[in-house]
Amino acid sequence: MGNLKKKNIIILIIVTIIALTIGCTAKSIHDRNITKEKAAEVAIQHMKKRENIDFVVTEVEIYQLELAGSIRVSGYDKNNKQKKHYVVINKIQNYKVSYWG
């Protein structure tokens, strides 16, 4: 009887660890997607306001380690696909545009 109870407790602990791992991973992915969407929106608004172009986002990169907190949004002018642009946004400073080009 005691051996069966130990097995049930071990199984419960394993299931709990798996559930927590899946939950944390899902939250991390969700947070990253929200960050990318917000950065893309900030970049679109910035390029419209400063450069007066309709900016089409093609890629959003979140930098780790040496540039922690920086997000690079790449894209092009909707009216001229050959003209590439990028916007670097600082997430730590509430999605403030650091520079663009």
Does 65 score more than 90 pLDDT? no
Residue with tokens 């005691």: 2
| Domain coordinates in residue numbering, the chain | 2-100
Q: How far is CA 31 from CA 28, 41, 58, 62, in A?
A: 5, 15, 20, 12
pLDDT digits (tens, 9 = 90+) for 3-57: 888 899 999 999 999 999 999 999 989 988 999 999 999 999 999 999 999 999 9
Does 69 score more than 90 pLDDT? no
Residue 1: predicted pLDDT: 59
